Amino acid sequence: MRIFINPGHDVQLDPGACGNGLREADIVLKIGKRVEGYLRAVGYDVKLFQYDGLGEICFDANAWKADLFVSIHCNAATGTAKGTETFSSGGMKSTRLAEKIQAQIINSLPVINRGVKTANFYVLKHTDAPAVLVETAFIDNPDDAKLLIDREDDFARAIARGVTDYFANEKPLPDVVDTPTQSGTVGSHFNASEFVCHCCGQGSVDSRLIELLEELRAKAGKPVHVNCGYRCSKHNKEVGGVPNSQHVLGTAADITIPEIGFKRARELVESIDFDGTGFYPPLENGGAWFIHVDVRDGGIGSHVEWWN
């Protein structure tokens, strides 16, 4: 998938909105670069282009044959307005993408929800791919400006997760994977066959789970082994799983990182925003261990943790 990221305006030619000692072009470029990094980490092809010429931006995105177009901006008004709003071109796919990004930002940051709206902005009208324009926050409002400074990474993560949420609905794993050695990849370092049911070959996997597993692998610097991903209801019952297991929903994985051991793996897992974690340490005789991770609440619920 090709994602075109357009931080608004230009640091040399047009700073965009200004306020509280900040320039829009600088802020959104920093956020855009972080979004680029997060999306590359889960295996997407990403192009970032910041330029003041709107025609050139759209031409470049269309020539590159982008699958999605995301323009990132800061808002400005009177200094009292605040909040986040995301604009779509009005098409079904564009609106769905806007809804996913808006929801992730609202659920991740203490911002006012100004909603998803339709607009005829040039970059939305003249881009072939589903396109959205994200107004992250009001740069001339002191409270919003502080968020743009202090929570830059949270804005970026939320936008990236909105993109992966969109693709999770658009392109899930195949319902049936023909063989255990099926070569389709999910993310940069995982194979679709790692997440399918061991008994029937069916499979689905939540894109946010892949995103966080890629983050875990990057921190570990070693391969993350997926022992169990999706389970069909029959297999879940056979292994003693609860009926509403996250594995049945495709939102969980049982993993090991043999090259770093249980203790270090636990520390790294705890540093990442999984919604649920279950720790099954090695037995006294040195038996096998694993760690359960899941994304049961989409990043908006309370964290759940347990030990075997």
Q: What is the DSSP string of 242-289?
A: -TT-HHHHT-EEEEE-TTTHHHHHHHHHHTS--SEEEEEPPPTT----
The pLDDT value recorded for residue 287 is 66
Pick the CATH number of 185-307 from 2.40.10.220, 3.30.1380.10, 3.40.50.720, 3.20.20.20: 3.30.1380.10
Sign, CA dihedral 205-211-216-220, equals positive
The CATH architecture of the domain made up of 2-170 is 3-Layer(aba) Sandwich (3.40)
The pLDDT value recorded for residue 65 is 96
The pLDDT value recorded for residue 115 is 95
Q: What is the dihedral of CA 287, 293, 278, 271, to 10 degrees?
A: 100
| Active-site residue set | 135
Written as tens digits, the pLDDT of the chain (308 aa) is: 899 999 999 999 999 999 999 999 999 999 999 999 989 887 889 999 999 999 999 999 999 999 999 999 999 998 899 999 999 988 888 998 999 999 999 988 999 999 999 999 999 999 999 999 999 999 999 999 999 999 999 999 999 989 988 887 665 555 444 444 444 667 778 888 788 888 877 778 888 899 899 999 999 999 999 999 998 888 889 888 888 899 988 899 999 998 999 999 999 999 999 999 999 998 766 568 999 999 987 766 778 999 98
pTM: 0.60
- For the chain, which residues make up each domain, given as ranges? 2-170, 185-307
The pLDDT value recorded for residue 4 is 98
